[in-house]
């Protein structure tokens, strides 16, 4: 059985998230209340649009990592709640701006905010949520957490600009691609986990370990996302198969296929992704080429590798419910293939 | 002589800015260096676009207020430099996003960044600059300054969303309009000035006084901007006369004219601003209607009033070079009419 099939074989991939969901259940209730109250405004458009996003079925994996990491480090205060809400707001702001930049029509199986309220509102409400995220961080008062999250904020935007500048560029190397997703996706996972150690004044070793855990789970998460976009299993993610293809995004399955491609295949990629001249049947053809070069399978393999790195990074923490929950969450981000 | 003519009579309005320019000269040199170094990135698009904005001839009034206020409060550290650069980055990020939202072609007499690099890059580089602004604030380490600036960040975005939601709405009242510009423009001026008192641990009275000064100079600044958009004198501002009109923006001169308008005039405003059906000669006709109702003149009168409030707010500080420079800066923001 090949790896993709193995990963897809699990009957219920979200079972791997159960231990983390249980661990952070009470705190996430409070996080959700804070998210709703911080999205309030006299300007009706703000809570309307924010509620659309908040209720759109995201799993809130990033804030759960913050709560889980803080608990694993023995945190007993309340700051992790507010910081977790900040992390989710940063993520939501990024989604809003991403959809504008990518001209996406759908988000998690629903119409994207920009399709319902327009690009202008999406840009500005994203700015508002980012501002609220920083206000909450300031309220917690940890300069260490502020440092990590503000750096993440810059790095995410930098990664997005890089991706924009490199969009439709088939000469993108695997290394370059990994650098982009380290910035645009893994940086927020890394920061979300790391602040658990910061809140508890753990030493630099624990802080670095949680950062490594977050970076690697983020990489695994993004690579599975990339693979899903070319697999029949994407519906469960609320994603339309072929979104990346239609937007001309150069993701790892494309990088691998192009590198190994025949002259005819390269011409196909140039026509579809670079020139955007996509015809009926092209997506199916793209998937065929990827299968021929084992590109989807190898993208998953790399995700599995980063997943292993993520799990190993937690070895320095004492065994227990929290560590197990964070380790199982890695399996979840990979098992989403199903 | 009417008030507009009086204000316009000054032979060199920027002379009023000279004392502040002199006061903050050395520090602003350092602010400019930090601005350039913090706009660096391996992603070439970022420094390219940032340099376009940085060199586009803005007066950097906001960071000058931070430096000036800190000096008036006797500050002797270096944190004001970094905070002033943060303030300018927040402002620049707002301009980038504003131009996308307003679909503006020009900014300070040059092509806007979105016309040169596209909306997508403008959104993302704006996000990057905002992230960098927060990183710098965190480096300074003043939670008080972080609180004031992060609140401003939310409030500015909230004001922009309000303006978007109310755009083309001729039922906007004067009070509603003032609330919008208190948020979208005056909030950053207020924060910029207030952090001067925070850095020096001045009491709540000095802090409130500087905040009041900033709010009022910001209001004066915005109202003069609104008036300039319907006057022949706008070229000196690098603004095209009629930009607000063409974008259907409801500013104070419009609010006053609509309120006092005949049925025919109201129909004219509905056709041009609400429906966007603008024909040749409409801008000239709009200016005629405004003159008939004294709307531009009264907008300037209100700016003069807020300017007076700004000056008076500084009464609790000791007389001296810094206070005089900040007071004269108020005259500058009003004298821009010329």
Q: Measured between alpha carbons, how far is B216 from B200 in angstroms, rounded to an integer?
A: 22
What is the distance between the alpha carbons of residues A190 and A185, in angstroms, rounded to a whole number? 9
Residue B114 and residue B99 in contact, taking contact as beta carbons nearer than 8 Å:
yes
Q: With a threshold of 0.85, tell me whether the complex ipTM lies above it.
A: yes
B211-231 per-position pLDDT tens digit: 999 999 999 999 999 999 998
Q: What mean pLDDT is reported for chain A?
A: 92
> With helix as H, strand as E and coil as C, how does B239-304 read?
CCCCHHHHCCCCCHHHHHHHHCCCHHHHHHHHHHHHCCCCCCCHHHHHHHHHHHCCHHHHHHHHHH
Coil, helix or strand at residue A278: coil
CA-to-CA distance for B249 and B261, rounded, in angstroms? 17
Place of tokens 């998690």: A108
d(CA B264, CA B49): 45
Per-residue model confidence (pLDDT) at position A234:
47
- Please say whether the beta carbons of A196 and A70 come within 8 A: yes
Interface contact flag, A127 B130, Cβ < 8 Å: yes
Q: Smallest Cα–Cα separation from A55: which of A107, A18, A102?
A: A107
Residues from B contacting A (CB-CB < 8 Å) are 41, 43-46, 97, 100-101, 119-121, 123-125, 127-128, 130-132, 134-135, 137-139, 141, 143, 146-147, 150-151, 153-158, 160-162, 164-165
Name chain B contacts of A138, Cβ cutoff 8 Å.
Answer: 143, 146-147, 150
pLDDT over threshold 70, residue A7: no
Helices and strands per DSSP (H, E), number in chain A: 17, 2
A170 vs B177: CA distance, rounded Å: 49
Each residue's pLDDT tens digit, A211-244: 999 999 999 999 999 999 998 654 455 556 888 9
- For residue A110, the cross-strand partners are A107
β-pair partners for A111: A106
Closest to A161 measured CA to CA, from B131, B137, B88: B131
Under DSSP, is residue B123 helix (H, G, I), strand (E, B) or coil?
helix
Could you tell me how many CB contacts below 8 A there are between chain A and chain B? 135
Reduced to 3 states, what is the DSSP secondary structure of residue B162? helix
Partnered with residue A311 across adjacent β-strands are: none
Residue A320, helix vs strand vs coil: coil
3-state helix, strand, coil in chain B (%, to 5): 75, 0, 20
Q: For the residues A124-131, what does the mean pLDDT come to?
A: 97
**pLDDT of B126 strictly over 60:** yes
Give the per-residue pLDDT at A6: 52
Verify whether the Cβ–Cβ distance A125 to B44 is below 8 Å. Answer: no
Q: How far apart are the C-alpha atoms of B231 and A78, rounded to whole Å?
A: 55
Give dist(CA A278, CA A286) in Å, integer.
Answer: 11
Topology (CATH level 3) of domain B3-335:
Farnesyl Diphosphate Synthase (1.10.600)
Domain residue ranges of chain A, discontinuous segments joined by +:
11-335
Q: How many CA atoms lie within 13 A of A67 on its CB side?
A: 28
Residue A8 reports pLDDT greater than 70: no
Is the pLDDT reported for residue A128 higher than 90?
yes
Classify residue A241 as exposed, middle or buried by CB count within 10 Å of its CB (0-12, 13-18, 19+): middle
Query: Could you tell me which of B306, B85, B135 has the C-alpha nearest to residue B213?
Result: B306
Q: Is A82 exposed, middle or buried (0-12, 13-18, 19+ CB in 10 A)?
A: buried
Q: Which of A120, A156, A161 sits opposite B43 (nearest CB)?
A: A161
Secondary element (H or E) of residue B110: strand B110-111
Q: Which residues contact B38 (CB under 8 A, 6 or more apart)?
A: B85, B89, B132, B135, B136
Q: Which residues lie across from A106 on neighbouring strands? A: A111
Higher-scoring residue by pLDDT: A256, B59 = A256
> For residues A128 and B187, what is the distance between their CA atoms, to the nearest angstrom?
14
- Burial of B111: CB neighbours in 10 Å, binned 0-12, 13-18, 19+: middle
Q: Which residue is associated with the tokens 């070793």? A: A205
Q: Which residues pair with B107 in a beta bridge?
A: B110
Q: What is the DSSP string of A104-158?
A: -SEETTEE-HHHHHHHHHHHHHHHHHHHHHHHHHHHHT-HHHHHHHHHHHHHHHH
pLDDT tens for residues A276-328? 999 999 999 999 999 999 999 999 999 999 999 999 999 999 999 999 999 99
Q: Point out the least confidently predicted range of A179-193, A221-235, B94-108.
A: A221-235
* Distance from C-alpha of B224 to C-alpha of B227, rounded to nearest angstrom: 5
Neighbours of A150 (CB within 10 A): 26
Instruction: Output the pLDDT for position B1.
Output: 43
Please report the pLDDT score of residue A168 as a whole number: 86
Mapped onto helix, strand or coil, the DSSP state of residue B203 is coil
- Find the residue in B nearest to A164 (Cα): B121
R_g (Cα) of chain B, nearest Å: 20
- The token pair at A212 is 């490594």
Closest partner residue to B161 among A124, A155, A158, by Cβ?
Answer: A124
List CB contacts (< 8 A) between A121 and chain B: 161, 164
Q: What is the pLDDT of residue A51?
A: 87
Is the pLDDT at A1 greater than 60? The verdict is: no
How far does B158 lie from chain A, in Å, by closest CA? 6
The dihedrals phi and psi of A228, each to the nearest 5 degrees, come to -60, -30
Chain A interface, best mutation among B164, B168, B191, B248, by max A CB count within 10 A: B164
Q: Identify which of B27, B74, B69, B34 has the alpha carbon closest to the alpha carbon of residue B54.
A: B34
> Is the confidence at residue A209, as pLDDT, over 50?
yes
A199: nearest Cα among A74, A33, A318, A89: A74
* Fold of the domain spanning A11-335: Farnesyl Diphosphate Synthase (1.10.600)
Nearest to A158 among B128, B146, B158 (CB): B128
For chain A, the residues whose C-beta falls within 8 A of a C-beta of chain B are 41, 43-46, 97, 100-101, 119-121, 123-125, 127-128, 130-132, 134-135, 137-138, 141, 143, 146-147, 150-151, 153-158, 160-162, 164-165
> CA of A41 to nearest chain B CA: how many angstroms apart?
8
Interface-testing mutation among B39, B100, B120, B147, with chain A (most A C-beta atoms within 10 A): B120
Q: Name the token pair of A324.
A: 């197990």
């Amino acid at each position: 059985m090949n790896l993709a099939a193995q990963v897809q074989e699990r009957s219920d991939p979200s079972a791997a998230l159960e231990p983390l969901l249980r661990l952070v259940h009470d705190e996430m209730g409070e996080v959700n209340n804070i998210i709703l109250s911080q999205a309030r405004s006299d300007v009706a458009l703000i809570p309307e649009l924010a509620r659309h996003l908040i209720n759109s079925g995201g799993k809130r994996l990033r804030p759960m990592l913050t709560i889980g990491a803080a608990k694993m480090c023995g945190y007993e205060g309340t700051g992790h709640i507010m910081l977790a809400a900040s992390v989710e707001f940063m993520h939501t702001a990024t989604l809003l701006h991403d959809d504008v930049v990518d001209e996406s029509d759908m988000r998690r199986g629903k119409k994207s905010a920009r399709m319902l309220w327009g690009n202008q509102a999406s840009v500005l409400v994203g700015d508002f949520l980012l501002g609220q995220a920083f206000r909450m961080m300031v309220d917690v008062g940890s300069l260490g957490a502020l440092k990590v999250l503000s750096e993440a904020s810059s790095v995410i935007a930098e990664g997005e600009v890089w991706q924009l500048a490199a969009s439709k560029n088939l000469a993108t190397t695997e290394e370059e691609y990994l650098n982009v997703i380290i910035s645009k996706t893994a940086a927020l996972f890394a920061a979300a986990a790391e602040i658990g150690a910061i809140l508890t004044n753990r030493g630099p070793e624990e802080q670095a370990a949680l950062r490594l855990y977050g970076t690697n789970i983020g990489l695994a998460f993004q690579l599975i996302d990339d693979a899903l976009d070319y697999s029949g299993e994407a519906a469960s993610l609320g994603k339309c198969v072929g979104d990346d293809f239609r937007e001309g995004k150069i993701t790892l399955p494309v990088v691998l296929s192009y590198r190994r491609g025949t002259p005819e295949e390269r011409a196909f990629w140039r026509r579809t992704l670079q020139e955007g001249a996509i015809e009926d049947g092209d997506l199916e053809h793209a998937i065929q080429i990827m299968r021929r070069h084992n590109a989807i399978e190898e993208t998953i393999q790399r995700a599995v590798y980063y997943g292993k790195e993520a799990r190993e990074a937690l070895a320095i923490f004492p065994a227990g419910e929290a560590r197990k929950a964070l380790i199982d969450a890695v399996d979840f981000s990979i098992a989403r293939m199903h």
